[in-house]
Amino acid sequence: MPTLDNIIGDRQKKLEILKKEGIDSYPEKCQRTDSIENILNRFKELSENQTEIHLVGRIISQRQHGALIFIDLKDQTAKIQLLFKKDILAAKDFKIASDLLDLGDFIEATGVLFLTQAGEKTLQVNSFKILTKSLRPIPPRWYGLEDEEERYRRRYLDLLANEAVKNRFILRSKVIWTLRQFLEKENYLEVETPILQILYGGAKAKPFKTHLNALDLDLYLRIAPELYLKRLIIGGFEKIYEYAKNFRNEGMDREHNPEFSMIELYAAYQDRDYLFQFIENLMIYLLEQLKEVLPLKDGYLTTQGKKIKIQKPFKRLTFKDFFKKTAFIDIDHDDLNVLRKAAKKLEVECLSTDDRIKIIDNIFTKIRNQLIEPTFIIDHPLETSPLAKKNNFDPSKTLRLQFYLAGWELMNGFAELNDPLDQRQRFEEQQKRKKLGDEESHPLDEDFIEALEYGMPPTAGLGIGIDRLVAILTDAPNIKEVIFFPLMRPKNQ
């Protein structure tokens, strides 16, 4: 069996032969009548009229039977069989087709359509042109790509070898388009805010740091667009959203990648109750619009072996009640020792320097995977939500919500804090936590507080995790399956 080096060497020799024949194996231009799918849809008309057509694509199979060569040609839309006949093609062209074409090569084929005796729609080739000579063999389905990490590193081969992978990414695009469609129906304006920021903010997370040489200035990659979007609300916009790439220098697992996609939106003159309805309507709209392509059956969404009914109203649980029900902890009254014992029992790692709130947060990260049905977790502790309004009935809690489905946090929103004095106090509390070693504490942003002092109307804000949402809707086991090129450790490290 030839080695990879043998195969590459053989293909390079073929390339040299083509060059000596004066054939450019990487030309600039090509002719294309239409996509293969559209040509097949018009097969009856085009074959009856013997219309000459030009098809382009990649060779995915070859079979030679003496004076006949059969090739399957594939573009993004479909595949079609090509027939090369020795008595129709020029002798030089037939020899090239016989000896110098390989699986993976891109070609342009010109000819007329006909139906074989076996009933297969086929293009009889009158002439052809090499568009790209492939120097490496494409592995058969999964061969050479059985290692999961290798699939992510060489996603282009994963897409070629597995139609389901490509279809998942096509569906990702449809999900994002449908989200935008819903937001447009709700009169939201799409905006853009900076990715490079002098001061990061909008979430509790550890940032990536970089340096701008032109100004000799340290900068951060944004962890969230929140504070800039709120500045736009202050500036007079009432309904805005951003499709944002965010960057957080924290752990990597099935739900986390250092670079991830979100839609973040803000609606002036709205409250948390608005967000409950918005999320329910959004989820129902997504499932209805995409029902033909999602893993749905009898109104149930199937994801990782779970059948989940998506119907309004979604369940609501307070943060406190969820802890009582799941971890048997009273977050309002149990002391640090009780929390540490509970964390140990749940196999949650805690540092000796972690305080009550940090331990509660760590435990929540562990137990939230039990939230399978569509569920809102509400009324989070004040210390965990420095940008949310206080709950008037219990000032130790906030008017925040998290939306969970199949154990994944998909959305996070709250009635936005618009009191600049309260906001300053919250930021200062976060600074105290930072000094005690909490690297994810929110920094104090004086410029944002100044903006708030000009006045921001009552506002509801929501972040939607695109990668997680797509993973659930496409029945993917982790977000790496729905990110074209997830970050991977280099193979030599």
* Residues 6 or more apart whose Cβ sits within 8 Å of residue 171: 290, 293, 294, 470, 473, 474
Report the amino acid identity of residue 418: N
Residue 83: the pLDDT is: 98
Which pLDDT tens digits describe the chain residue by residue (493 residues)? 789 999 999 999 999 999 999 999 999 999 999 999 999 999 999 999 999 999 999 999 999 999 999 999 999 999 999 999 999 999 999 999 999 999 999 999 999 999 999 999 999 999 999 999 999 998 765 444 556 788 898 899 999 888 899 999 999 999 999 999 999 999 999 999 999 999 999 988 999 999 999 999 999 999 999 999 999 999 999 999 999 999 999 888 999 999 999 999 999 999 999 999 999 999 999 999 999 999 888 778 988 888 999 999 999 999 999 999 998 999 988 888 899 998 899 999 888 888 888 899 899 989 999 999 999 999 999 988 888 999 988 999 999 999 999 999 999 999 999 999 999 999 998 898 888 778 888 999 999 999 999 999 999 999 999 999 999 999 999 999 999 999 988 877 6
113 Cβ neighbours under 8 A, 6+ residues apart:
39, 43, 46, 47, 51, 53, 121, 122, 123, 124
CATH superfamily of 4-132: Nucleic acid-binding proteins (2.40.50.140)
State how far the Cα of 212 lies from the Cα of 222, in Å rounded to an integer. Answer: 15
pLDDT at 472: 95
In this predicted structure, what is the pLDDT of residue 141? Answer: 55
Domain 159-314+373-482 in the same topology as domain 4-132: no
Structure pTM? 0.91
Please report where in the chains the tokens 């994963």 appear, as a residue.
Answer: 158
Torsion of CA 50, 51, 57, 61, to 10 degrees: 0
Reported CATH class of domain 159-314+373-482: alpha beta
Write down the domain spans for the chain: 4-132, 159-314+373-482
Sorted by sequence, the CB contacts under 8 Å of residue 462 that are 6+ apart come out as 264, 265, 266, 275, 278, 279, 411, 412, 413
What's the angle, vertex CA 89, arms to CA 88 and CA 94, rounded to 5? Answer: 130
Place of tokens 């000596």: 20
User: What is the token pair recorded at 313?
Assistant: 């109203």
Q: How much is the pLDDT for 140?
A: 67
Length of the chain: 493
